[in-house]
Amino acid sequence: MSEAADRAAANAGTLILGDDLEVRRIGFGAMRITGEGVWGDPADPDATAAVLRRALELGVNFIDTADSYGPETSERLIAEALYPYPDHTVIATKAGLLRSGPGEWSRDGRPEHLREACEGSLRRLRVERIDLYQLHSPDDKVPLEESVGALAELRAEGMVRHVGLSNVDSGQLARAREIVPVVSVQNRYNVADRESEPLVELCEREGLAFIPWFPLRAGKMATPGGPLDRVAEAHGATPAQVALAWLLQRSPAMLPIPGTSSVEHLEENVAAAGLRLSDEELESLSGG
């Protein structure tokens, strides 16, 4: 698998964030490098560091995290494993969610919180500027314009290079873009969940990156004998690899960020970039 992953990484293709950051089209999602429930430290920090370092060895140069993963743990582990970062490594993080325990999340989009969160992320990641800073989720108690305005200020002050949004609809994206340039949208999207289809198409038209979270969920499509299983068998691949290949072929704007705490699974995910699905196979998966 290691050689296949190396070859696939070389052929994964790239996209441009904003007008200046070129990233490989399979990134790494660092949500699951924390403890169970996305809470606290992982059981084996050395294994986590090995996964992060192997990702860079494979050519992955886009790592997505958030201050709420742990909380703070994911960002700290990334810096401990990878700092000083190799040239062209792009670290994306997010703010706007709070944690009170394993599996528990709440929103905080207040400008003062977002500024404080950004300052904390800069310290933990050991960087002077965050490449891509994303509003993790709009807060119903705070006008979106206030939350996005805070990110615009951070960008103007040089603390943030680019701004992204997560868990938004097209109307919220349009409102945000009236305030600050937005280079990416990160929503749930996968072969079994197409609710954000309009945003995928919008991002492709507008030259924005679409970062699907939960990219490997396949639902009933991955059941034995199902469409994903049949395509995987034809390619000698896993259903997860086919799910990633489908995303990559769905749109050139797509930037999947599968996460894992296993080097073996990391290499399997990256190797998915080497799969080419036929038109007939893509059509067989189109039902969702």
Domain residue extents for the chain? 2-219+251-277
pLDDT at 219: 72
Do you find a cis peptide bond into 84, omega within 30 degrees of 0? Answer: yes
Query: Residue 217: its pLDDT value, please?
Result: 78
pLDDT at residue number 216: 84
Given this structure, which CATH class describes domain 2-219+251-277?
alpha beta
CB 167 within 8 A of CB 186: yes
Catalytic residue among 69, 85, 133, 189: 69
Query: Which pLDDT score is estimated for 11?
Result: 52
85 is catalytic: no
So what's the pLDDT on residue 186? 98
Compute the distance between CA of residue 183 and CA of residue 141 in angstroms, rounded to an integer: 25
pLDDT per residue as tens, the chain (288 positions): 555 555 555 456 999 999 999 999 999 999 999 999 999 999 999 999 999 999 999 999 999 999 999 999 999 999 999 999 999 999 999 999 999 999 999 999 999 999 999 999 999 999 999 999 999 999 999 999 999 999 999 999 999 999 999 999 999 999 999 999 999 999 999 999 999 999 999 999 999 999 999 988 777 777 888 889 999 999 999 999 999 999 999 999 999 999 999 999 999 999 999 999 999 999 999 765
Q: Collapse the DSSP code of 97 into the 3-class scheme (helix H, G, I; strand E, B; otherwise coil) and give the result.
A: strand
The strand pairing partners of 254, in sequence order, are: 210
Tell me the CA end-to-end span of the chain in Å, nearest whole number.
28
